[in-house]
Amino acid sequence: MKHRIMLSRPMQPAVEARARSQFDALVPDHALSVDELVSHAHAHEAQGLLFSGSLKLDRALIERLPRSLRVAATTSVGFDHIDVDAAANAGIVVTNAPVVTECTADATMLHILAACRRAREHLQVMNDGWGRAFGLSELLGHRVTGSVLGIVGMGRVGQAVAQRARAFGMTILYHSRRRVSPPKKL
């Protein structure tokens, strides 16, 4: 007998396919409202709930969910949208997706580089077929090398961004609750 789970909203096709193959899964065709979520969870006698950071799993919602619910898994990194204590009191284990550190740091550097080097404007020129000449001062952007990067919060993601930024010769300034040891020189 497969465990009964439900998704709070449509997700990537691979996620939905895996949910259907490994579980007795309820997969909605739209993002469920809180009332729909509660109704479907009771009707399905859901044991697990897969949801995103847009759903606030607070005490009031937890109290409305069926007693059959044992696992609430958010696709987000943090728990700031979840009342973890209320979930624990209801016997619900809460999980998240903390494995996105490297991807988040990569995306952060992508955005820094794209903004500094005016990537959107260059992409538009390429999409238009390169049909124009440029003046010497057009689309120059800003150099990343030697720039200063400020990071608020030097946890796993902050440190991973700093590591990438140092590779570009950037100076790192940060604010965090705890002092971070300087990186080891290679």
- The residues, ordered by sequence, that sit 6+ positions from 70 with a Cβ below 8 Å of its Cβ are 47, 48, 91, 92, 93
Total-model pTM: 0.66
Are both 4-96 and 101-175 of the same fold?
Answer: yes
| Predicted confidence (pLDDT) per residue in 166-186, tens digit | 999 999 999 998 888 876 654
In this prediction, residue 161 has a pLDDT band, given cuts at 50, 70 and 90, of very high
Q: Domain spans of the chain? A: 4-96, 101-175
**Model confidence pLDDT, tens digit, residues 18-47:** 999 999 999 999 999 999 999 999 999 999
Class of domain 4-96: alpha beta
CA distance 98 to 156: 10
* Fold held by 101-175: Rossmann fold (3.40.50)
